[in-house]
Amino acid sequence: MEGGDPLELARLFAANGAARLHLVDLDGAFSGVPSTGLLERLLPAGLPIQVGGGYRTIDAVEAALAAGADRVMLGTAALDRQFREEALARVGAERLVVAIDARDGRVAVDGWVRTSETTPSQLARDAAASGAARFLVTSASRDGSLEGPDLSLLRDVLATGVPVLAAGGVASIDDLIALRDLGCEGAVAGSALLAGRFTLAEAIAATA
């Protein structure tokens, strides 16, 4: 499978059994000003979409949900307890995913160009105490590398008891099985799918 038109790719994922699309606005992550354009373009695929990348205001979060997003991921802004708790109260925990992007034992922010002093486990505990319903945990150093997921990082966050989606490094069906057995709710496997390491149908069958 190769990349191409985003909508056609989304429709292909839907036809092969995908339950949800994971969409990151990289321009928004760097600028802090996300756009709903691509989100709206992908809606005809008929899949729920979780979107992230630069969602640092309540207005931006609500705009994405109004435009059709099923869930919004909070990354950099999730470090701000006041913002995090206001967002959870305003739109509901099930509509938000706290994204914990880790690099060198710290939480990476601003499109991963800066590293905070906060550890992933500290953010996970704080966000769990705020009422977060779900985490997306990404190993920034392994993202797109096809080198395998960081199980130690994921294990630390899973200790909070909050459901975890894993991202970064997935390269094989065995990786997906390892993540399932570790207790992860799901995984992001974009690079592996596009590289043809396995098909979406194979991944779904192996982890059912």
pLDDT tens-digit series, residues 15-71: 999 999 999 998 998 888 999 999 999 999 999 999 999 999 999 999 999 999 999
Looking at residue 144, the DSSP 8-state letter turns out to be: T
The distance of Cα 119 from the centroid of its chain, to the nearest Å, equals 18
The domains of the chain, with CATH numbers, are 6-207 (3.20.20.70)
Centre a 10 Å sphere on the Cβ of residue 35 and count the other Cβ atoms it contains. Answer: 17
pLDDT tens per residue, range 115-130: 999 999 999 999 999 9
* Phi, psi values for residue 194, rounded to 5°: -70, -30
Q: pLDDT tens-digit profile of 132-178?
A: 999 999 998 898 789 999 999 999 999 999 999 999 999 999 999 99
The pTM score is 0.93
The span from the CA of 198 to the CA of 171, in Å, is: 8
- Distance CA(177)–CA(170), nearest Å, equals 10
Whole-number Å distance between alpha carbons of 76 and 80: 8
pLDDT of the residue at 2:
55
State the Cα–Cα distance between residues 103 and 126, nearest whole angstrom: 18
